[in-house]
């Protein structure tokens, strides 16, 4: 998985609790992305980062925030998890705009 | 209407047979069009990337074609193997953006 790890790999949490997912890369790539994958939908971009402390919203950013304090780590936070955020979350990295994106192994999140 | 539509949704073939997966898109022009393979429980892995001006790209037994006039791309798999069982996702990268547009994928099952 191209030097990308995600943690945790599985999580079950209750509605209303905060959740943080971590993406860690060893490739020193500038761009990092968070996607969610749901049945019947293609992968959808939540947020992405184009450098340390530089982030932007994707198409489904409501209810999510991100932080990138160093090149190798990109955190996704659900401030107050809802059942609609039950999904599989993928992190991806790329060297630059338009370049190949390499995906992590995914985190399966269940909000009960 | 989805900007990237794939067909069929699912496909079953016998080992050793060839198959072709279809992708219709509305985004034109684009920076590149990608095909990814996603094994169950794993992140997507890139198979091919084609620029708008290319009309074919191969990666071993996988050959992607592009017809910009009809806004269609195909992924042809030759001499299928059991390990080809996976979802295949067509992705379009619009110009001047990192926000990829993902199809919902074709689920391929190869049986002995």
With an 8 Å Cβ cutoff, is B13 touching chain A?
no
Angle of CA points A85, A86, A91, to nearest 5°: 80
Model confidence at A2, pLDDT cuts 50, 70, 90, reads: low
- Distance (Å) from the alpha carbon of A10 to chain B's nearest alpha carbon: 11
Quick check: B43 and A104 CB within 8 A? yes
pLDDT band with cut points at 50, 70 and 90 for residue A96: confident
The 10s digit of each residue's pLDDT in B40-71 is: 999 999 999 999 889 999 999 999 999 989 99
How many residue contacts between A and B have a Cβ separation below 8 Å?
Answer: 51
Q: Mean pLDDT, 10 residues at a time, over chain B (112 residues)? A: 89 97 93 95 95 93 95 97 98 88 96 96
Give me the mean pLDDT over the A18-44 stretch.
95
Between residues A89 and A98, which one has the greater pLDDT?
A89
Alpha carbon distance A6, A9 (integer Å): 6
pLDDT on residue B2:
67
How distant is the alpha carbon of residue A88 from its chain centre?
Answer: 10
């Amino acid at each position: 998985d191209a030097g990308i790890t995600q943690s945790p790999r599985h999580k079950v949490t209750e509605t209303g609790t905060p959740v943080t997912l971590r993406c860690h890369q060893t490739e020193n790539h500038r761009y990092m992305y968070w996607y969610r994958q749901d049945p019947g939908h293609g992968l959808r971009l939540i947020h992405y980062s184009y450098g340390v402390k530089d982030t932007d919203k994707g198409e489904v950013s409501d209810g999510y925030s991100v932080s990138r304090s160093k090149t190798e780590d990109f955190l996704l936070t659900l401030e107050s998890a809802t059942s609609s955020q039950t999904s599989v979350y993928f992190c991806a990295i790329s060297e630059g705009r338009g370049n190949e994106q390499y995906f992590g192994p995914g985190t399966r999140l269940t909000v009960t | 209407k989805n900007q990237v539509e794939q067909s069929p949704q699912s496909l079953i073939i016998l080992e050793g047979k060839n198959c072709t997966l279809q992708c219709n898109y509305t985004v034109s022009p684009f920076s590149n069009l990608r095909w990814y393979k996603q094994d169950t429980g794993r992140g997507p892995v890139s198979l091919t990337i084609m620029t708008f001006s290319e009309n074919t790209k191969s990666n071993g037994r996988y050959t992607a074609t592009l017809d910009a006039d009809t806004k269609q791309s195909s992924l042809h798999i030759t001499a299928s193997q059991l390990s080809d069982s996976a979802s295949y996702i067509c992705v379009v990268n619009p110009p001047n953006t990192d926000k990829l547009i993902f199809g919902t994928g074709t689920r391929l099952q190869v049986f002995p």
